[in-house]
């Protein structure tokens, strides 16, 4: 029970990797604050967390709006008294297509949710951590933040930015005992990856099976990683077992060969 009675905020915690992260912290005894734009799926995760004996809290939040990110952090602090861990997981896949054809609002929304949202949540959560001179922030970036990713320019740019955000915050917050790291998932089995594959298949006019194989061919383990595997890396980096780690970008990708 590494996080017993600690308060952990997980943005985008209603489904996919975020759900796996929320449940992983719940199993370790944390009271999990889930922030997401839709309530229905958050309620399902909250029911699972309550069955573990924890006290989850739900915040309908659009992290791309700073006021809402601030309100979520304030509500968590009012309910639990402190924030021990922030996991910036909220993110969208963004549009698929050539950069010259992508609508400007598709670019803006992707950067707003994936990168600005992490910035807003971090600036407000870290203010409460500084007072206690302790805390951990884990940003969910992507291996796309280390490669050129044709047809996914907004997404890749946002994830490159998140890695830079993680390094910079680690340098700023280290003197206050606050650690900041990033987890970089590779292709991850689940609903989101299925949608990504479908969008690329449509954009390139290729069969789904061919595109799925394209995502796997450069992975030495010859499979996609699982949401649970990503969640395990997150809980490790947030725990005291990683007390000497900050400013790191840790890939969970099956050994994907970075181009």
Q: Is 148 exposed, middle or buried (0-12, 13-18, 19+ CB in 10 A)?
A: exposed
- In order along its 259 residues, the chain shows pLDDT tens digits of 999 999 999 999 999 999 999 999 999 999 999 999 999 999 999 999 999 999 999 999 999 999 999 999 999 999 999 999 999 999 999 999 999 999 999 999 999 999 999 999 999 999 999 999 999 999 999 999 999 999 999 999 999 999 999 999 999 999 999 999 999 999 999 998 999 999 999 999 999 999 999 999 999 999 999 999 999 999 999 999 999 999 999 999 999 975 4
Q: How far apart are the first and last CA of the chain?
A: 39
In a domain? residue 145: yes
2 within a domain of the structure (yes/no): no
- Of 187, 140, 173, which is closest to residue 159 (Cα–Cα)? 140
Residue 22 lies in a domain: yes
HSE-up (13 A, CA, CB side) for residue 31: 14
155 is a catalytic site residue: yes
Domain that holds residue 16: 7-186+226-251
Can you say whether the dihedral through the CA atoms of 131, 136, 140, 142 is positive or negative? positive
Residue among 80, 155, 176, 215 flagged as catalytic: 155
Q: Is 258 inside any structural domain?
A: no
Strand partners, 57: 33
Shared-domain flag, residues 219 and 240: no
CATH number of the domain encompassing residue 156: 3.40.50.720
Residue 157 lies in a domain: yes
27 plus 147 within the same structural domain? yes
**Same domain membership, residue 193 and residue 114:** no
What is the spatial distance between Cα 184 and Cα 190, in angstroms, rounded to a whole number?
16
- Classify residue 219: in a domain, yes or no: yes
User: Which secondary-structure segment (H or E) carries 164?
Assistant: helix 153-173
Is 109 contained in some domain? Answer: yes
- Looking at the 3D structure of the chain, how many domains does it have? 2
pLDDT number for residue 245: 98
Q: Which residues contact 164 (CB under 8 A, 6 or more apart)?
A: none
Q: Tell me, what's the pLDDT at 259? A: 45
Residue 175 belongs to some domain of the structure: yes
């Amino acid at each position: 029970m590494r996080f017993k009675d600690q308060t952990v905020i997980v943005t985008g915690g209603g489904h996919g990797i975020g759900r796996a992260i929320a449940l992983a912290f719940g199993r370790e005894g944390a009271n999990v604050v889930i922030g997401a734009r839709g309530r229905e799926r958050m309620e399902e995760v909250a029911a699972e967390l309550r069955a573990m004996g924890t006290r989850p809290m739900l915040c309908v939040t659009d992290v791309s709006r700073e006021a809402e990110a601030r309100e979520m952090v304030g509500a968590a602090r009012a309910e639990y008294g402190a924030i021990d861990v922030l996991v910036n997981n909220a993110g969208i896949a963004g549009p698929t297509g050539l950069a010259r054809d992508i609508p400007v609002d598709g670019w803006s929304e992707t950067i707003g949710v994936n990168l600005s949202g992490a910035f807003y949540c971090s600036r407000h959560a870290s203010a409460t951590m500084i007072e206690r001179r302790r805390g951990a922030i884990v940003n969910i970036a992507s291996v796309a933040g280390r490669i050129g990713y044709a047809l996914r320019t907004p997404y890749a740019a946002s994830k490159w930015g998140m890695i830079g955000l993680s390094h910079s915050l680690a340098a700023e917050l280290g003197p206050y005992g606050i650690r900041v790291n990033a987890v970089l998932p590779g292709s991850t089995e689940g609903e989101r990856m299925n949608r990504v594959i479908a969008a690329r298949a449509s954009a390139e006019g290729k069969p789904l099976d061919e595109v799925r194989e394209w995502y796997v061919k450069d992975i030495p383990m010859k499979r996609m990683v699982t949401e649970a595997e990503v969640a395990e890396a997150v809980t490790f980096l947030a725990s005291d077992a990683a007390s000497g780690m900050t400013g790191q970008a840790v890939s969970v990708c099956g050994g994907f060969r970075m181009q």
